[in-house]
């Protein structure tokens, strides 16, 4: 199976919110992403509403025809939102409400019971679950004990180290992916993946089901246009 591309539209909401109003139109952009070939739409709502707002999530649920992935920290309000919207997938991220962006994976050993309880609640709603984790074999093993369907590898360190030594940058991610396969966990990945480093990552990571990409993709779209950019990202996943 070819790895699926889910487009994170947070940056579209950031641009809209900078001036108020509805320009750019978040819902139209999401529709266009799907029309241009994206196989999923990802959002990460935060309590301060600085990009995706909770009402955006409800609106997107009505129009997204591919996979809808909601990621975020499992606060009480976030859990209520997810259980009301019932997306295709929820991705649990351990970042604080005021974090600029996600910067670490879960300690799945220390938080096993918390994650297990959350995942059981999501499963009762028929929602596929994924846990954001670092490329650490022990964290992957512990993630399997929570009952999650998938993990999402946090790829910031890979992207940072890729220009200097791609093989070294991806080493721990390969080990983590192999452990995910051993544990019968589905595998996603995301954070700082780009046209520069995506194909190498996808080629070398066994069983990679989905990548979620937002910041780099939207930046590239400023130069190439959204349609061309999505096509270029999809091409990185064909080899």
Catalytic residues: 44, 71, 191
Alpha carbon distance 131, 149 (integer Å): 9
**Contact indicator for 236, 199 with CB cutoff of 8 Å:** yes
Q: Output phi, psi for 168, to 5 deg.
A: -70, -40
Alpha carbon distance 159, 228 (integer Å): 22
Integer angstrom CA distances of residue 227 from 83, 158, 233:
32, 27, 10
């Amino acid at each position: 199976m070819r790895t699926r591309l889910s487009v994170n539209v947070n940056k579209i909401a950031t641009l809209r919110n900078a001036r108020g109003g509805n320009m750019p139109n978040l819902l139209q952009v999401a529709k266009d992403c799907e029309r241009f070939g994206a196989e999923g739409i990802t959002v990460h709502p935060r309590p301060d509403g600085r990009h995706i707002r909770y009402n955006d999530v409800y609106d997107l649920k009505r129009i997204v025809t591919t996979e809808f992935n909601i990621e975020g920290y499992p606060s009480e309000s976030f859990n209520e939102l997810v259980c009301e919207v019932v997306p295709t997938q929820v991705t649990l991220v351990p970042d604080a409400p005021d974090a600029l962006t996600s910067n670490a994976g879960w300690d799945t050993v220390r938080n096993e019971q918390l994650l297990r309880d959350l995942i059981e609640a999501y499963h009762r709603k028929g929602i596929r679950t994924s846990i954001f984790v670092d490329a650490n074999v022990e964290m992957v093993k512990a993630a399997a004990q929570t009952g999650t369907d998938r993990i999402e590898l946090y790829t910031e360190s890979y992207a940072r180290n890729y220009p200097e030594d791609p093989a070294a940058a991806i080493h721990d991610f390969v080990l983590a992916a192999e452990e995910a396969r051993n544990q019968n966990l589905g595998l996603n990945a995301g954070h700082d993946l780009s046209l520069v480093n995506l194909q190498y990552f996808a080629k070398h990571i066994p069983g990679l089901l989905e990548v979620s990409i937002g910041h780099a993709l939207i930046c590239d779209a400023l130069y190439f246009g959204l349609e061309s950019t999505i096509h270029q990202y999809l091409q990185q996943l064909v080899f």
